[in-house]
């Protein structure tokens, strides 16, 4: 049982801290905006990335609002989704190693979970695992559209891999994917140009495969910091944007104006001086990846430093309005790397705790 189960029905300020808090109404408004833009306005499928959301309840919410399924980063996340009854799962990464390939092949008996592949060697290993299990794994070929992470080169190398996969009995080629994550830090026209180049590499490769007689159903791409520019481009069939359902300081920086739906509640534990406020949340509670979190609704802050269990806030001016025991909420610098520090999420509506959801698959275990 979670510490905050006993706080159901109580106002935010009474939760045990530190606590990861979801404003369910703000989250739902963000989801509705994504559905409107992606599904209603641009007639694309939405398969939101759950790497930074994890909770099965959030997958159910997104699907009820119009998502076609969910995108996952790890096999472990995908298994958690499947055991929670979620269909339409895509693992947008390569799974490697004989035991895990066997797990992925076995998972197909419960639900058709798609996975990414980007080389002949990898596709052959997955094919063998599927044949050994007597299943077939639907795959998307991942292309390197400029991010230089995983992904095969667009064009001929993609077509050659697609042809090889079509001939494998243990795989079913479902389509192509590419993630234009390298453009996040760009703005306006420079960003639009880079997104267009990246998406053209993907959609032109899909056209080349089709010209070679290969069926490409799915062309999947895009994230929360790019989908507003990617979705209108011709040839993409679905969008993977996920973290925009919460938003945070990084997504703001990357051009998304969604509401902050996920916050961290901490509590003042010490006031060593009139300009220093110490709260019970440090870097084990709030990630510093992509930037520091920001306290909300307190006097102007000169500096914030996080040690393991302490947030050390230095105020611009002396102020005694914050007392030991007072709550202080923070908006995360990056929700993805913050949520995975927590075992559970406190779900609030109209300022009161409505539910506590567990966060499965939250570690680096893949
Ligand atoms: C494969 C893939 N697709 C999409 C995204 C975008 O995810 P989000 O919208 O949660 O930022 C990412 C982010 O890392 C990713 O790795």
Domain boundaries, the chain: 3-21+258-358, 24-242
Nearest residue by C-alpha to atom 2 in ligand 1: 179
Closest-lying ligand 1 atom to the alpha carbon of residue 243: 10
Q: Does domain 3-21+258-358 have CATH number 2.40.37.20?
A: yes
Is the pLDDT reported for residue 82 higher than 90?
A: yes
pLDDT of residue 365: 62
CA of 306 to the centre of ligand 1 (A): 26
Is the pLDDT reported for residue 75 higher than 80?
A: yes
Find out whether the beta carbon of 127 lies less than 6 Å from any atom of ligand 1: no
pLDDT of residue 68: 98
Nearest residue by C-alpha to atom 13 in ligand 1: 223
pLDDT of residue 362: 74
Q: What is the pLDDT of residues 1-56, one digit of tens each?
A: 678 999 999 999 999 999 999 999 999 999 999 999 999 999 999 999 999 999 99
pLDDT of residue 311: 98
pLDDT of residue 1: 63
Nearest residue by C-alpha to atom 7 in ligand 1: 223
Find out whether the beta carbon of 330 lies less than 6 Å from any atom of ligand 1: no
CA of 131 to the centre of ligand 1 (A): 30
How many Å apart are CA 282 and CA 312, to the nearest integer?
8
Find out whether the beta carbon of 333 lies less than 6 Å from any atom of ligand 1: no
Nearest residue by C-alpha to atom 12 in ligand 1: 223
User: What top-level class would CATH report for the domain 24-242?
Assistant: alpha beta
Closest-lying ligand 1 atom to the alpha carbon of residue 336: 10
Q: How confident is the model at residue 363 (pLDDT cuts 50, 70, 90)?
A: low
Ligand 1 pocket test, candidate residues 95, 195, 224, 240, most atoms within 8 A of CB: 240
Find out whether the beta carbon of 224 lies less than 6 Å from any atom of ligand 1: yes
Find out whether the beta carbon of 179 lies less than 6 Å from any atom of ligand 1: yes
Is the pLDDT reported for residue 366 higher than 90?
A: no
Find out whether the beta carbon of 242 lies less than 6 Å from any atom of ligand 1: yes
Domains 3-21+258-358 and 24-242 share a fold: no
Q: What is the pLDDT of residues 221-252, one digit of tens each?
A: 999 999 999 999 999 999 999 999 999 999 99
Q: What is the pLDDT of residues 162-173, one digit of tens each?
A: 999 999 999 999
Nearest residue by C-alpha to atom 4 in ligand 1: 223
Nearest residue by C-alpha to atom 15 in ligand 1: 179
Q: What is the mean pLDDT of the chain?
A: 97
- SS3 of the chain: the string is CCHHHHHCCCEHHHCCCCEEEEEHHHHHHHHHHHHHHHHHHCCCEECCECCCCCCHHHHHHHHHHCCCCEEECCHHHHHHHHHCCCCCEEECCCCCCHHHHHHHHHHCCCCCCEEEECCHHHHHHHHHHHHHHCCCEEEEEEECCCCCCCCECCCHHHHHHHHHHHCCCCEEEEEEEECCHHHCCCCHHHHHHHHHHHHHHHHHHHHHHHHCCCCCCEEEECCCCCHHHHCCCCCCCEECCCHHHCCCHHHHHCCCCCCCCEEEEEEEEEEEECCEEEECCCCCCCCCCCCCCEECCCCCEEEEEECCCCEEEEECCCCCCCCCCCEEEEECCCHHHHHCCCCEEEEEECCEEEEEEECCCCCCCC
Q: Which residue has the higher pLDDT, 365 or 104?
A: 104
Q: How confident is the model at residue 364 (pLDDT cuts 50, 70, 90)?
A: low
Closest-lying ligand 1 atom to the alpha carbon of residue 240: 4
Percentage of the chain exceeding pLDDT 70: 99
Is the pLDDT reported for residue 81 higher than 90?
A: yes
CA of 335 to the centre of ligand 1 (A): 12
Mean pLDDT of 90-118: 98
């Amino acid at each position: 049982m979670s510490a905050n189960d006993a706080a159901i029905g109580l106002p935010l300020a009474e939760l045990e801290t530190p606590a990861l808090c979801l404003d369910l109404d703000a989250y739902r408004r963000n989801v509705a905006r994504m559905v409107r833009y992606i599904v209603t306005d641009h007639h694309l499928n939405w398969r939101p990335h759950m790497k930074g959301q994890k909770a099965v309840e959030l997958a159910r919410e997104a699907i009820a609002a119009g998502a076609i399924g969910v995108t996952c980063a790890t096999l472990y996340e995908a298994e958690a989704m499947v055991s929670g009854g979620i269909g339409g799962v895509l693992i947008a990464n390569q799974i490697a190693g004989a035991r895990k390939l066997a797990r992925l092949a076995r998972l197909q008996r419960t639900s058709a979970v798609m996975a990414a592949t980007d080389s002949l060697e990898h596709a052959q290993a997955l094919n063998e695992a599927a044949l050994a299990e007597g299943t077939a794994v639907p795959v998307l070929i991942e292309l390197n559209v400029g991010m230089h992470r995983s992904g095969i080169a667009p064009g001929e190398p993609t077509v050659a891999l697609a042809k090889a996969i079509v001939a494998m009995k243990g795989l079913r080629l479902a389509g192509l994917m590419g993630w234009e994550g390298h453009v996040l830090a760009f703005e306006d026209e420079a960003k639009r140009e880079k997104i267009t180049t990246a998406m053209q590499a993907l959609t032109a490769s899909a056209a080349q495969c089709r010209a070679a007689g290969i069926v490409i159903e799915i062309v999947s791409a895009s994230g929360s910091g790019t989908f507003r520019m990617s979705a209108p481009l011709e040839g993409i069939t679905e969008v993977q944007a996920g973290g925009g359902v919460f938003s945070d300081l990084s997504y703001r920086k990357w051009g998304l104006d969604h509401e902050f739906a996920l916050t961290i509640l901490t509590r003042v534990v010490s006031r060593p001086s009139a300009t220093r406020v110490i709260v019970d949340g440090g870097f084990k509670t709030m990630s510093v990846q992509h930037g520091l979190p920001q306290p909300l609704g307190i006097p102007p802050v000169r500096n914030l430093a996080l040690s393991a269990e302490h947030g050390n806030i230095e105020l611009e001016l002396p102020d005694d309005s914050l007392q030991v025991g007072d709550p202080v909420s923070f908006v995360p610098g990056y929700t993805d790397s913050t949520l995975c520090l927590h075992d559970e999420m406190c779900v609030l509506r109209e300022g009161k705790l409505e539910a506590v959801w567990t966060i499965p698959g939250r570690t680096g275990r893949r």
